[in-house]
Amino acid sequence: MSAPKLEVCIDDIAGLQACVAGGADRIELCSALDLGGLTPSYGFMQAAASVEVPVRAMIRPRPGDFSYTAQEVEAMCQDIGVARQMGLDGVVFGASAGGGTLDLPTLQQLCNAAEGMGVTLHRVVDTLDDPVAAVEAAIGLGFDTILTSGKALTAPLGQDVVAGLVQHAAGRIAIMAGSGVTQENAHQLAAHTGAPWLHASCSGKRRNGSTIVELGFGAAEARFTDPTKIRAIKTQLAEPATQI
């Protein structure tokens, strides 16, 4: 069995080269990771197209819930078109109908817009009443990956649910464990769940200048993608794992 792969989520240009340097297997391109990740800009997608690591763009027009208006869905379809135009590997999106279920018509519309691209169903799955049913729906819609924390704040806390989804998927779709993944828990998480992909931000922190903070342009600390953390997780994932 091959070693699990690592997708790294980033929200700035510098993160692209950090992912290359660290050996990430795929990049999830976002803006505003502190809000859970929003759609990246046209220019950011264009820059990402030049790196040698596969890139999937987050398609999420605003923070908050995953129930979208017709106008928002149209904007999302246009953003998918930009990702396609830039030659990105794929896109990442999700939509819910309320009541703990997926919005299947909206997802079908978005999947149609992304035809021929790689498509990840994001952590909207963690808001649903029945994630197993979501696996079947995602397969039927044509998704190739589901990102999940197992309905918990972090993937290590939800690892039993993730393991159950991996078992249920039985290789028909890739279950990617994400949220709270670090070099300290990556090996155990991969071994316990059997997930073929892990997802992490591999973030470091640096201080913002006092003027930036005082004028409201940023928090006291800013995140950055740390290639040493990417390499550390990759090293952990390369270690032989037995089911825990």
- Residue 220 has a pLDDT of 64
Structure token digits, residue 78: 């246009």
Long-range contacts of range 227-231, CB-CB < 8 Å, 24 or more positions apart? 227/18, 227/19, 227/21, 227/22, 227/202, 228/22, 229/22, 229/182, 229/183, 229/200, 229/202, 229/203, 229/204, 230/6, 230/8, 230/18, 230/19, 230/21, 230/22, 230/23, 230/24, 230/202, 231/22, 231/23
Q: How far apart are CA 124 and CA 2, in angstroms?
A: 28
Structure token digits, residue 67: 């129930």
Q: Over the chain, what is the mean pLDDT?
A: 94
Q: How far apart are CA 211 and CA 14, in angstroms?
A: 22
- Residue 152 has a pLDDT of 98
Please give the C-alpha separations between residue 88 and each of 32, 82, 128, 142, 197, in angstroms, as whole numbers: 19, 9, 29, 18, 19
Q: What domains sit in the chain, N to C, each tagged with a CATH number?
A: 5-238 (3.20.20.380)
- Residue 243 has a pLDDT of 46
- Residue 241 has a pLDDT of 66
What residue ranges of the chain have pLDDT lower than 50? 243-244
- pLDDT tens digits, residue range 17-36? 999 999 999 999 999 999 99
